[in-house]
């Protein structure tokens, strides 16, 4: 099972096993990780599951699709290169070791 590291804005790290087939957002939700609110439940209709992907992972992830790109416009301090919505990141074995950092807040 892939291990994903979620880092709160305060620096607190949570390393959790996330089953293949879930999203990175569902992994946070199912493990009670603070900082990912996911108000829309994963429908890519808000930006409350926004994270900054660790630099080393940016090129390893699937490209941002137009819907996600539109929603990222509403995120708190989006980073054009590193911002992603965790509801759009499906967990595969290839994501083992993924590191994401939460923003200061979700809006």
Tell me what pLDDT residue 58 has. 97
Q: Is residue 107 part of a domain?
A: no
Nearest Cα neighbor of 18 from 91, 85, 71 is 91
Q: How many domains does the chain have?
A: 1
Q: Is residue 59 part of a domain?
A: yes
Q: Which domain holds residue 82?
A: 3-101
Mean pLDDT estimate for the chain: 97
pLDDT in tens, 3-20: 999 999 999 999 999 999
Tell me what pLDDT residue 59 has. 96
Q: What is the mean pLDDT of residues 44-73?
A: 97
Q: Is residue 106 part of a domain?
A: no
Residue 73's CATH number: 3.10.20.30
Q: Is residue 35 part of a domain?
A: yes
Q: What is the mean pLDDT of residues 54-61?
A: 97
Predicted confidence band at 85 (pLDDT cuts at 50, 70, 90)?
A: very high
């Amino acid at each position: 099972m892939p291990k994903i590291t979620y880092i709160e804005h305060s620096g607190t790290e949570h390393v959790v096993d996330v089953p293949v087939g879930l999203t990175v957002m569902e992994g946070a939700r199912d493990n009670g990780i603070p900082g990912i609110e996911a108000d829309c439940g994963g429908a890519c209709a808000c930006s409350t599951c926004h994270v900054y992907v660790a630099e080393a992972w940016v090129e390893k992830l699937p490209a941002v699709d137009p819907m996600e790109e539109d929603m990222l416009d509403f995120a708190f301090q989006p980073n054009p290169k590193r911002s992603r919505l965790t509801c759009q990141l499906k967990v595969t074995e290839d994501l083992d070791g993924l590191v994401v950092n939460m923003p200061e807040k979700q809006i």
